[in-house]
Amino acid sequence: MACKICGGEVEMRKYTAEICEEDFGKEIELYGWVHEIRDLGGLVFLVLRDREGFAQITLPKKVVDRELFKKARKLRRESVIKVFGQVKEEKKAPNGFEIIPREIEILNVSDAPLPLEVTEKVPAELDTRLDNRFMDLRKPKIQAIFRVRHAVVQALREFFDRHGFIEVQTPKIVSTATEGGTELFPISYFEREAFLNQSPQLYKQTLMAAGFEKVLEIGPIFRAEEHNTVRHLNEAISVDIEVSFVDHEGVMRYLEEAVREVYEKVNERCERYLGWIGVDLEVPDTPFERLSYDDAVEIARKKGEDVNWGEDLSTSALKLIAEDYGGYYFIVDWPTESKPFYAMPYESDPEISKTFDLMKGWIEIASGAQRIHKYDLLVKRMRDQGLSPENFGFYLETFRYGMPPHAGWGMGLDRLMMAILGLQNIREAVLFPRDRHRLVP
């Protein structure tokens, strides 16, 4: 049989989940980890685990080779093995079949005790799990999160590709604390100081000036905030778009349709993995409801929350609002002063801006706006917010030579994963999360 990778005469990799009736009576080769060993004396059951599932390897003492039998019962959990044997239909076995091995090769033994139980007989705390993430990720239920995450990213790329977006990569090492607001991580850049970028915002807009018209970027963002919550990370993945010749409503439509399509495709492509996690996905209806900032404030106030108009909504206010809005919804038309300098104020009422946050319950998933494309207004807004236009050299220049009107948003991919899978902690959605205290692994 030809190898999928090199094309040579190599036995093709077969996963446990691919074993079917056609294989009954045939000899196959499996690779994986020893998930469990059940030694009944005259009969030994091994459970082999690979990426896609499990297979029971059965060794009846009277049937298999004596040395092989002795070797199998001495195996340690999580050792890596190769099994060559016959697939036998067996109603008493899980999935209706078992493998009677002719050969078991130990490719690598595992030490004991394990840092945590892959079988999940004993739960482990998130911190212990993250300290030993490679082992934690061996749990099908945990690995499934990342199979879904893969499908989510694929779905987003497909959606935006189909709509004519150009996927780009912008610098993550930048020269100045550009936007203000959040803290940046300083780094050493040869003889100068530089920073890790907090957002691709200024570069996305620069590409509007460059005439790209529709861009997508999926990449890391860095925030040096000392927050310590279940929904913040210091390194996150942001899905960003920027579109020319549309307003904020235009990019909100891309956002809600993209989210809906992500749900559809995850349902289509990840049925097994959703099953492992135990999640039943309901595709949200579009369009998502638009709730104005004013109305949101009103809801929170009616429930007894003290909200100052003009400020960002507090966690407690958002939780009150989420009592009425559990699914996806937009909070729109935020006070101009509460949003970044590049957000476009309404001509009719400059106190509010063409801005929106996409919410899922009380958690902010994305935020965006129509941007200011006029040089003079942009400079004025920078000054209003206490920023120095001199620090925005390359960015400001792009507004002098034909910057089209444009709008865009940034969405936290990790937050979207939380929303889709109902994860209680954002760290669950990330392979190797970076938070206030965790830099390893």
Partner RNA sequence: GCCCGGGUGGUGUAGUCCGGCCUAACAUGCGGGCCUGUCGAGCCCGCGCCUCGGGUUCAAAUCCCGGCCCGGGCGCCA
Q: Which is closer to RNA, CB of 56 or CB of 244?
A: 56
- Least Å distance, CB 427 to RNA, is 7
Radius of gyration of the chain (CA): 27
Does residue 73 contact residue 16 with C-beta atoms inside 8 Å?
A: no
Nearer to RNA, 266 or 317 (CB): 317
Give 98 or 333: the residue with its C-beta nearer to RNA.
Answer: 98
What is the footprint of RNA within residues 129-188 (CB under 7 A)? Answer: 179-182
3-class secondary structure, 367: strand
CB of 218 to RNA, least distance (A): 12
232 catalytic residue (yes or no): yes
Gap between the Cα atoms of 223 and 231, Å rounded: 13
Contact, 49 vs 79, CB < 8 A?
A: no
107 touching RNA, by CB under 7 A: no
Q: Which is nearer to RNA, 222 or 399 (CB)?
A: 222
80 part of the interface to RNA, by CB under 7 A: no
Q: Measure the CA–CA gap between 420 and 342, rounded to whole angstroms.
A: 30
Among 4, 26, 66, 121, binds RNA (CB under 7 A): 121
Q: Is the dihedral of CA 399, 402, 405, 409 positive or negative?
A: negative
Distance separating alpha carbons of residues 44 and 348, to the nearest angstrom: 78
Residue closer to RNA, measured from CB, 270 or 406: 406
Q: Which residue in the list 77, 223, 260, 406 is annotated as catalytic?
A: 223
Closer by beta carbon to RNA, 388 or else 425:
425
Measured distance between the N- and C-terminal CA atoms of the chain, rounded to whole angstroms: 39
Question: What residues contact residue 61 under an 8 Å CB cut-off, 6+ apart?
Answer: 41, 42, 43, 44, 69
List the interface residues with RNA, window 250-309 (CB under 7 A).
Answer: none
Q: How many CB atoms lie within 10 A of CB 281?
A: 17
Amino acid present at 83: V
Binding track over 374-413 against RNA, x by CB under 7 A = ------------------------------------x-x-
Tell me which residues in 36-55 interact with RNA (CB under 7 A).
36, 38-43, 45
337 is catalytic: no
Minimum distance, C-beta of residue 161 to RNA, in the bound complex (Å): 22
Is the CB of residue 342 less than 8 Å from the CB of residue 205?
A: yes
Residues within window 203-232 making contact with RNA, judged by CB under 7 A: 221, 223, 225-230, 232
Q: Is 269 annotated as catalytic?
A: no
CA distance 145 to 131: 18
Task: Report d(CA 430, CA 88) in Å as an integer.
Answer: 39
Identify which range of 4-12, 87-95, 321-329, 397-405 contacts RNA by CB under 7 A.
Answer: 87-95
Residues that are catalytic: 223, 225, 231-232, 364, 367, 415
